[in-house]
């Protein structure tokens, strides 16, 4: 699974229309979210850092919910955007998350090992997205 990292509002214009998951590494306005949805109509998930989530407009949260787009809280630890614009979660990690979820096991160990947020782990465990 690849998550496109967007570091500035200018980068929204350069994303591909088939993006399904993005992480906003800047404090996005309502207009930025609307622009993002226009540029990536297949978007299924948006992840924002915890500090940004607390200051987001309730209107844009409701709009994303109506559009069927999951809004997740979390960070992408250890990712260097100068090397790759995508944060990649390996297929083996995805399989492990789904296996643990199907067995009802705790996801805390996977969160520490894979260095991804608990909300993203829960999303992976239930989402049909594989790309």
On the 0-12 / 13-18 / 19+ scale of CB atoms within 10 A, 45 is buried
- Alpha carbon 127 to its chain centroid, in Å, reads 12
Question: Phi and psi of 41, rounded to 5°?
Answer: -70, -15
Partners of 71 in the β-ladder: 46
Q: Do β-strands 45-48 and 21-24 pair in parallel, antiparallel, or remain unpaired? A: parallel
Provide the pLDDT confidence category of residue 93 given band limits of 50, 70 and 90: confident
pLDDT in tens, 38-66: 999 999 999 999 989 888 999 999 999 99
- Give the pLDDT of residue 24: 93
- In the Cβ-directed half-sphere of 38, how many Cα atoms lie within 13 Å? 9
Query: Does the global pTM surpass 0.75?
Result: yes
- In the Cβ-directed half-sphere of 71, how many Cα atoms lie within 13 Å? 21
| Domain ranges within the chain, ordered by starting residue | 2-126
């Amino acid at each position: 699974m690849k998550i496109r990292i967007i570091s500035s509002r200018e980068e929204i214009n350069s994303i591909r229309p088939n993006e399904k998951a993005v992480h906003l590494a800047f404090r996005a306005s309502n207009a930025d979210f609307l622009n993002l949805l226009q540029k990536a109509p297949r978007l299924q998930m948006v992840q924002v850092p915890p500090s940004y989530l607390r200051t987001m407009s309730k209107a844009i949260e409701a709009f994303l919910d109506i559009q069927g787009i999951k809004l997740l809280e979390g960070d992408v630890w250890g990712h260097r955007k100068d090397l790759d614009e995508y944060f990649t979660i390996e297929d083996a990690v995805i399989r492990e998350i789904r296996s643990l979820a199907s067995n009802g096991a705790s996801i805390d160990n996977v969160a520490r090992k894979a260095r991804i947020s608990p909300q993203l782990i829960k999303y992976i465990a239930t989402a049909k997205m594989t790309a």
